Amino acid sequence: MSTFRHPGTVLTDHVIEVPLDHDDPGGETITLFAREVAATDGAERPWLLFLQGGPGSASPRPIGRDSWLDRALRDYRVLLLDQRGTGRSTRVGRNSVLRRGGPQEQARYLSHFRADSIVRDAELLRRRLLGGAPWSVLGQSFGGFCAVTYLSTAPAGLREVLITGGLPGLTATAEDVYRAAYPRVAAKNAAHFARYPDDAAAVRAIATYLLEHDVRLPDGAPLSAAWFQTLGLALGSSTGSHELHYLVEDAFDAPGALSDVFLDRVRQRLSLLATPLYALLHEAIYAQGEGPTAWAAHRVRAEHPQFDATADAPVLFTGEMIYPWQFAADPGLTPMREAAELLAARADWPALYDPASLAANEVPVVAAVYYDDMYVDRDHSLRTASAIRGARAWVTNEHEHDGLRVSSGAVLDRLIAMARGNA
């Protein structure tokens, strides 16, 4: 355990060993890392566990009291957990996965990195740090999914739950998720092209060039029109439309010549070398034993021909979808292609949520539901809010999915007030 200081904060690092498979507590272990952030006044405050979005993203690396932390530290001692497979917890990457053996062994290993395992990790960490006392949880996006799993399986460990953009559909399959998502993504495209009308011609020119030429990114990966379309992932964030505009306006050095600046920026945005779990488990986070996900985003896309870049129509960006061909295109994913196919074919994923337990919930639960959220379906979220006894939802179009991060503490302040009965 090490401690250091930033302006206005004291940070303490915690490391424990946890079972890879919680159903085999005497078996292989992995490392779990979490960083405690406390105010410098030395006052005792209750603990707040932060569960990051993803899957596959490490917790924030704060500098002082930046972003929502400033508001949180007025009321809490914050614990930033690197969920298993990310950051300084035992990290999942192409080399570590390949060391597991063949594709079957790799897929078996990767199956232990969903929300159910993350919650059981958190419970071991809570008992280590707090003994028997419960703590509060703040879940952002996928972190909110984990928080609902926590409410389903270990509510005794929870003092209160705050969720932003992360109420999952309790029974929604991966197909349900993407069938609801494509129209939302199309709407985000329409808003983007209304804001930047010249981008429609620019995007068409880029896509046409990619359809007609063999274009390679600086790392040698082949850039297809379909892969270019996945840059639409950015459209769900508060600044993503503007960032996408600035990206496409610099695409060509001259007619018929894509610029190196453009290609390198595209590589940085598309590569999942640093976050492979995002691709490997993206559909598995919705799987609950009702058949395989079987590349649901890819299959459902066929129902939405407006996303076909070869059609004689405006080229639309896609959103938060993972497609099987990305495991052939992205050098960071290619070595795990066979394992990804096995994960997509798995039909017996354990349940992540317990509707009966949630219906009997006694833990205070408040959630920000972003009305125009591109990533998490509003209707799925509101049905879940009504299924969790006592849960309160704040529905707003003031913020996008990243409202927690960009609102200077306003979103968290509203949730804390709701949890205290003051809003």
Same domain, 101 and 164: yes
Instruction: Give percent above pLDDT 70 in the chain.
Output: 100
Together in a domain, 358 and 325: no
User: Where does a domain end: 345, 370, 390?
Assistant: 345
Does residue 159 sit in the same domain as residue 184? no
Mean predicted confidence (pLDDT) in 300-319: 96
Is residue 366 within 8 A of residue 381, CB to CB? The reply is: no
- Encoding tokens for residue 179? 């069938």
Q: How far apart are CA 162 and CA 392, in angstroms?
A: 10
Domain containing 65: what range? Answer: 2-170+353-419
Q: What are phi and psi of 168, to 5 degrees?
A: -80, 160
Q: How far is CA 165 from CA 14, 65, 69, 276, in A?
A: 28, 22, 18, 22
Domain stop point among 304, 329, 345: 345
Number of domains in the chain: 2
Answer whether residue 1 shows pLDDT above 80.
Answer: no
- DSSP labels for 47-100? EEEEE-SSSS-PPP---SSTTTHHHHTTT-EEEEEE-TBSTTSSB--HHHHHTT
- In what helix (H) or strand (E) does residue 328 lie, and over which residues does it extend? helix 326-329
pLDDT > 90: what percent of the chain?
A: 97
pTM above 0.75, yes or no: yes
Predicted confidence (pLDDT) at residue 139 exceeds the cutoff of 90: yes
Whether residues 230 and 302 fall in one domain: yes
**Catalytic residue set:** 141, 348, 401
Q: Which residues contact 28 (CB under 8 A, 6 or more apart)?
A: 19, 20, 21
pLDDT tens by residue, 401-420: 999 999 999 999 999 999 99
Please give the single-letter amino acid code of residue 213: H
Crossing angle of helices 174-195/199-212, nearest 10°? 120
pLDDT at res. 256: 80
Confidence band for 4, pLDDT divided at 50, 70 and 90: confident
> What pLDDT shows up at residue 234?
98
Closest CA to 77 of 50, 39, 41, 51: 39
Tell me the average pLDDT of the chain: 97
Other residues' Cβ atoms within 10 Å of the Cβ of residue 59: 24
- Please indicate, yes or no, whether residues 149 and 133 belong to a single structural domain of this protein: yes
Give me the pLDDT at residue 290, please: 84
Q: What is the pLDDT of residues 197-228, one digit of tens each?
A: 999 999 999 999 999 999 999 999 999 999 99
Report the C-alpha gap between 185 and 316 in whole angstroms. 9
Q: What is the pLDDT of residues 141-179, one digit of tens each?
A: 999 999 999 999 999 999 999 999 999 999 999 999 999
What are 175-195's pLDDT values in tens digits? 999 999 999 999 999 999 999
Residues 399, 389, 124, CA angle at the centre, nearest 5°?
Answer: 85
Which pair of tokens denotes residue 203?
A: 């995007």
Confidence class for position 378, pLDDT limits 50, 70, 90: very high
DSSP state string for 107-167:
HHHHTT-SHHHHHHHHHHHHHHHHTT--EEEEEETHHHHHHHHHHHH-GGGEEEEEEES--
Q: Are residues 81 and 102 in the same domain?
A: yes
Mean per-residue pLDDT, 359-380: 98
Q: CB-based burial of residue 239 (10 Å sphere; 0-12 exposed, 13-18 middle, 19+ buried)? A: exposed
Here the CATH number for the domain that contains residue 414 is: 3.40.50.1820
**Token pair of 95 as six digits:** 């080399």
SS3 of residue 420 by DSSP: coil
> HSE (CB half, 13 Å, CA atoms) of 10?
11
- 309/318 Cα distance (integer angstroms): 11
Q: Are residues 274 and 304 in the same domain?
A: yes
Helix (H) or strand (E) holding 203: helix 199-212
Same domain, 287 and 331: yes
Please tell me the predicted confidence (pLDDT) of residue 129: 97
